[in-house]
């Protein structure tokens, strides 16, 4: 997966916005004002791309034991976030599933009214 594929995939999700809240390097995708995916642009440029994705705590532990490239979230809650080193032992298909999982977790945590508003956004 490259940065363009990540960007295009995240932008297909309803209500997604992109931000650089921390610095000019860390691209953050949000839904309803809450983060679900973070990526370092420099990491992609330097050939060491990774993503931080929200994850169900039990699933996070399972993934970390199954994949060498998945570890506790860097600079994030180690319980709820994973850092995934790209182009290693996690397939792009699995990566897209994990991005979906992260988005779905964050979306489900939003107030019902906001979920309804986002649900009816037209592309």
What number does CATH give the domain 3-116? Answer: 3.90.1150.30
Report residue 120's pLDDT band, with 50, 70 and 90 as the boundaries: confident
Q: Where are the domains of the chain?
A: 3-116
Q: What is the pLDDT of residue 75?
A: 86
Query: What b/e readout covers 75-100, taking b as 16+ CB neighbours within 10 angstroms?
Result: ebeeebbbbbbbeeebeeeebeebbe
Q: What pTM did the predictor assign?
A: 0.93
* Nearest 10 degrees: Cα torsion 75, 42, 60, 98: 140
């Amino acid at each position: 997966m490259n940065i363009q594929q990540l960007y295009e995939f995240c932008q297909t999700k309803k209500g997604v916005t992109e931000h650089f809240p921390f610095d000019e390097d860390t691209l953050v995708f949000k839904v309803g004002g809450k983060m679900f995916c973070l990526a370092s642009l420099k990491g992609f440029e330097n050939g060491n791309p990774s993503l931080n994705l929200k994850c169900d705590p039990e699933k996070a532990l399972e993934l970390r034991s199954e994949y060498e490239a998945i570890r506790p979230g860097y600079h994030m809650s180690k319980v709820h976030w994973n850092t995934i080193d790209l182009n290693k032992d996690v397939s792009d298909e699995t990566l897209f599933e994990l991005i979906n999982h992260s988005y779905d977790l964050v979306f489900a945590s939003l107030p019902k009214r906001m979920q309804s508003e986002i649900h009816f956004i037209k592309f």
